[in-house]
Structure 1
């Protein structure tokens, strides 16, 4: 039994995220892209401009033995919409963590992560506006602290032990996001044999086109480029496209027409597996579950093998559970900052697996290297269907961070097993 360790002091440091906070409502309303900026007026509460630099807060737990455990608060790129809490401001959040949360955590034992995370989340719910962002960062630090207390420093092993996961730690497929560089960055992904690509950031109607024609052409280009650049004939990546509800919009809300477009895309993909994230947006959680279920049933009845992925409106462990039990989707993106304390993400992943729904361990380009490393341990501990290369939109950096952290964790696990 490891010696009890407690929190001696809580420190918080404001920082930056790896991309931007974007006012999605303003963009959908017609804010015009100009270089890296958007021209227009912000409409979502908390925004002063349509695009603002993303922010973060590093949470540092000074433990009774002098070790400093670390986690980063972060929020998603499109914060404040789709049922998500408003964007946070790092200086204010850091001050609140130090002044209001810190004194209440002093003396807390950190050996048992899950217990500490649940207790801390309850405190945060009482006093914070940016509850999920705060809980996200603090819980990462608590997991880091528990791994240190256990003596092996392997966060994935703490998760396995506390959730009684019997299967061994294994590598999981990583998927890359290309941002607006939908051609050059795809080349990088193919050259590095990324298992799932390209995300696509299909966030304006022109990228879908009338009846999906633009997206159909893009998939055709993907197939040809993969065949041209792949370093091995056995490399056959999964095509994963996030369409931000725009296929449903192009179909004017018709389930049948949405299915028609998706089947055209499936034909364009040929023998490559196709996954479509957030194919439509019904405007609320309950409506989204109902409409996605109808779309899924329609596609299955037609013999389609396309997997649809829930994203918007699946913002909490409870939301994810409702999508899963309703059979409303083939996969769910577990967008880690939205779920707050990371024990909720673990619960949601295991819940998906219980109901035969594929968990996609996602997150956001607006996170940090630290939050990406921590959530990588969640992915390998729970055996998710795929895991996002994050943070940032440059791909190379996020792929480096997640892949290398996964490989380190697996190598350490091998050594622990042999010792």
Structure 2
């Protein structure tokens, strides 16, 4: 009888995220660009400058058979905004991990992923652990469970949630960053399923009455026809960081009217508008987004609303899905916390017939991105973010290749299982 490995030690490795932390409040206040940096005073607590290099903290579980499995902790680009955890501080997170999390890990049974997460990520002194800790530690625990079972991470999730082994890829969504035109061309030439994000995070990019943004949307649609392969017809997904509300007005009818006009600008394309407005709290966001969704549905447009800000935790996602307060929910994985909760969030969206976009941030690492692919494929999310970074090519390679390898493994396992069943039945 084989005895499952236990955790005999834990090691930590400070590292870098793949982009930068940005102070969203300061950027909205129109700080000045100077090359790649922003000039001006940060407004969000925890920021020493408006743009700061992102950091990560790797957590390695040393198993009793001497295998070492890893997860990465970090926070998202716009930390401290929209109800999110504050910007990531390596020293603070490292100290809490050593004092609270590591002692729990050393007594955990790594063979059961969900049970191990429940034990290790339990509240401390009546408060939830920082979500960055949840995110990284749960990645490591998932890899430990997969090591014990000699399976992929996706197969562990399928087993824990009683899901069938998937056989279909999840559509890939790429984000452009500020190099919009060049990166849109890259996405089109690589036939990305969903594009381009656009990073419409300032008045300059949105324009008076939204005209600059409308021109960009039309250009993206036109460009897909100009340089795309014959028959290429992506979903157009734009993140406007609340600027429709900020510039046009916060009335749901006004916002719906603007979005409907956008859809008319690009007939035949499915149009996703992420964060059309930020109403300042989860309660207000839920109520007002439900009105916008209902107004757009009544028009029968091809436009879909995606919620991000003010919808962060698993409980938030459940509330938005049950209230039909979005057509799609971005499950921003570092903000959700444990990747077990991200998997559950996809399933909740699907139960409520709301789209599940398994997202994250450009500030993540290759390690967290590959773990996210396994969650997306196992739960069959409606789309997943190509991450990390803002360079397009690297993110598409990391996420796309991980998905391809995973599906190849699962196909091999199914074929082997069918062959073994045939041999057993014939014996």
SS of the residue corresponding to residue 59 of structure 2 reads strand
Instruction: Give the conservation status (yes or no) of the 8 Å contact 1:173–1:386.
Output: yes
- Structure 1 window deviating more from structure 2 (337-346 vs 207-216): it is 207-216
- Residue 192 of structure 1 deviates from its aligned partner by 0.3
> Which residue is 2:112 aligned to?
112
- Residue 208 of structure 1 deviates from its aligned partner by 2.1
Instruction: Give the conservation status (yes or no) of the 8 Å contact 2:155–2:165.
Output: no
Structure 1 unaligned regions, length at least 5: none
> Which residue is 1:339 aligned to?
336
Query: CA–CA distance in 1 between the matches of 2:246 and 2:237?
Result: 19
Pairing 1:122–2:117 present: no
Query: CA–CA distance in 2 between the matches of 1:388 and 1:402?
Result: 8
Pairing 1:402–2:399 present: yes
Give 1:236's match in structure 2, choosing from 193, 208, 233.
Answer: 233
Query: CA–CA distance in 1 between the matches of 2:405 and 2:162?
Result: 22
> Which residue is 2:421 aligned to?
none
Instruction: Give the conservation status (yes or no) of the 8 Å contact 1:333–1:362.
Output: yes
Instruction: Give the conservation status (yes or no) of the 8 Å contact 1:255–1:295.
Output: yes
> Which residue is 1:90 aligned to?
90
Following superposition of structure 1 onto structure 2, how do residues 57-206 of structure 1 map, counting pairs within 5 Å?
57-122=57-122, 125-126=124-125, 131-152=130-151, 154-166=152-164, 168-206=166-204
Query: CA–CA distance in 1 between the matches of 2:127 and 2:300?
Result: 48
> Which residue is 2:35 aligned to?
35
Instruction: Give the conservation status (yes or no) of the 8 Å contact 2:122–2:129.
Output: no
Instruction: Give the conservation status (yes or no) of the 8 Å contact 1:243–1:277.
Output: yes
Pairing 1:25–2:19 present: no
Q: How many residues align?
A: 416
1:129 to 1:327, Cα distance in 2 relative to 1, 3 A: closer
Instruction: Give the conservation status (yes or no) of the 8 Å contact 1:111–1:150.
Output: yes
TM-score for both structures, normalised by structure 2? 0.94
Pairing 1:8–2:4 present: no
Query: CA–CA distance in 1 between the matches of 2:101 and 2:353?
Result: 38
- Residue 99 of structure 1 deviates from its aligned partner by 4.3
Q: Which runs of 4+ in 1 moved over 3 A?
A: 125-130
Give 1:353's match in structure 2, choosing from 344, 347, 350.
Answer: 350
Instruction: Give the conservation status (yes or no) of the 8 Å contact 2:346–2:356.
Output: yes
- Residue 96 of structure 1 deviates from its aligned partner by 3.2
Instruction: Give the conservation status (yes or no) of the 8 Å contact 1:12–1:97.
Output: no
- Residue 131 of structure 1 deviates from its aligned partner by 1.2
> Which residue is 1:412 aligned to?
409
> Which residue is 2:284 aligned to?
287
- Residue 395 of structure 1 deviates from its aligned partner by 0.8
- Residue 128 of structure 1 deviates from its aligned partner by 8.0
SS of the residue corresponding to residue 122 of structure 1 reads coil
Instruction: Give the conservation status (yes or no) of the 8 Å contact 1:45–1:80.
Output: yes
Instruction: Give the conservation status (yes or no) of the 8 Å contact 2:101–2:121.
Output: no
1:9 to 1:236, Cα distance in 2 relative to 1, 3 A: same
- Residue 269 of structure 1 deviates from its aligned partner by 1.4
Structure 2 unaligned regions, length at least 5: 417-427
Query: CA–CA distance in 2 between the matches of 1:128 and 1:301?
Result: 42
1:254 to 1:88, Cα distance in 2 relative to 1, 3 A: same
> Which residue is 1:275 aligned to?
272
- Structure 1 window deviating more from structure 2 (5-14 vs 53-62): it is 5-14
SS of the residue corresponding to residue 280 of structure 1 reads coil
Pairing 1:227–2:220 present: no
1:172 to 1:205, Cα distance in 2 relative to 1, 3 A: same
Query: CA–CA distance in 2 between the matches of 1:296 and 1:135?
Result: 32
SS of the residue corresponding to residue 56 of structure 2 reads strand
SS of the residue corresponding to residue 122 of structure 2 reads helix
Query: CA–CA distance in 2 between the matches of 1:376 and 1:247?
Result: 31
Query: CA–CA distance in 1 between the matches of 2:200 and 2:221?
Result: 17
Query: CA–CA distance in 2 between the matches of 1:46 and 1:249?
Result: 25
Instruction: Give the conservation status (yes or no) of the 8 Å contact 2:122–2:128.
Output: no
- Structure 1 window deviating more from structure 2 (96-105 vs 57-66): it is 96-105
Instruction: Give the conservation status (yes or no) of the 8 Å contact 2:111–2:149.
Output: yes
- Residue 95 of structure 1 deviates from its aligned partner by 3.8
Query: CA–CA distance in 2 between the matches of 1:217 and 1:120?
Result: 49
Query: CA–CA distance in 1 between the matches of 2:209 and 2:2?
Result: 61
- Residue 169 of structure 1 deviates from its aligned partner by 3.8
- Residue 25 of structure 1 deviates from its aligned partner by 1.1
Query: CA–CA distance in 2 between the matches of 1:319 and 1:2?
Result: 41
Query: CA–CA distance in 2 between the matches of 1:30 and 1:54?
Result: 22
